[in-house]
Amino acid sequence: MEHKPRNMSFTTIFISVCRGVGDFPKLMNMAPFRVVLHLFFLAFIMALFITGSRSFSVFRSINMLCAEIEQQCGDFVMNEHGLRPAIEPDKAKKIYSADCSFRYFPGNDFKLETIEKDLNNIGVIWNPGIMLMWVKQPNDKYSAVPLVYPVLNNQWGGFDLIKRISDASSLSTAELADYVKNKGNPQGPFNMKFSQRGIEAARPAIKFYTAVIIFIAFFGQIFSQALLFTVIYSMIFAFVGGGRIRTLKFRQIFAVGTYCTFPAIFIASFFPALRLPFDYQTVFLFAFLIYLVVVFNFLQRFLAATEAIAKEITGK
């Protein structure tokens, strides 16, 4: 007998799977599109939670960094030499503030090693041809977003924000250094036009892009890892699973596996949000596998009981 998941909203399902396994006989018959859509909603919500939780300390660090930049560099000056600081424009500068770092290079000939040892969690790199910020991703790659950049040949064009983020969404250290060298041009013309401007003008943009990058990074990690591990273990249970689980269709096993990720995602998201010792993937995978085994053991017993009742009714 097939149990239909009638009138089960995302909120109802989330609370149900976090409280126990009783509704999985209904949930395994959920349409695959709705299953993935519910996973998308949860990934979106938890990525917002992580971003919001980390923003307090991150924004405080950015404020401290901007204050140091203003003290050492003064205003931004844009002239025929490009974008340069008002104070000692020909001198390289570096600043560290909590999780943030800042580097100014008077030329475009910096070496990879000078960047590599400075990369913390968030930072700004500035030379006369470009100013950009970067954020370290959970996978130890870097996302970069240009703040002041040359628009010669319209290198990003329409949908500027989306293209600037996607153009440098997952860079190694070497790729980040090449990106700074290749995208910068002191001759401009730049996306902004001014002769002199204070660091306060850049602070809101740095905070905004930091939050956007953190959100995108964690949303991508939460959604993609849940989908990946669900598909992998669904295939394992579908092809080599024993007992009555083998009588289930792949889409039913996939639905069960996906909803098993919900409690794991919820628990694991607190670790990056609160900066707890273990990383998100380790906690997620550990919790997911334990809950998956518990749920499939429950379904084995449920299917056996359902089959016994059906035999009694039919007399076979």
Residue with tokens 């008002």: 86
pLDDT tens-digit map of 295-306: 988 888 887 776
Residue with tokens 């990690």: 221
pLDDT tens-digit map of 77-88: 888 888 888 888
- Decide if pLDDT at 136 tops 90: no
Q: For the chain, give the number of residues.
A: 316
> Residue 3: left if φ>0, alpha if ψ -120 to 50, beta else—which one?
beta
**pLDDT-wise least confident of 147-161, 227-241, 276-290:** 147-161
CA distances from 175 to 19, 141, 164, 172, 212 (A): 45, 10, 15, 5, 21
CA–CA gap between residue 116 and residue 174 (Å, rounded): 8
Cβ partners under 8 Å of residue 243, min gap 6: 300, 303, 304
- Decide if pLDDT at 140 tops 90: no
Structure tokens at 309: 């009742």
Structure confidence at residue 223 as a pLDDT band (50, 70, 90): very high
Tell me, what amino acid is at 277? P
Predicted pLDDT at 1 = 47
| Phi, psi (rounded to 5 degrees) for 147 | -100, -50
Predicted pLDDT at 110 = 60
Residue with tokens 């989908």: 227
Structure tokens at 48: 């917002």
Give me Rg for the CA atoms of the chain.
26
User: Taking a C-beta distance cutoff of 8 angstroms, is the pair 7, 34 a contact?
Assistant: no
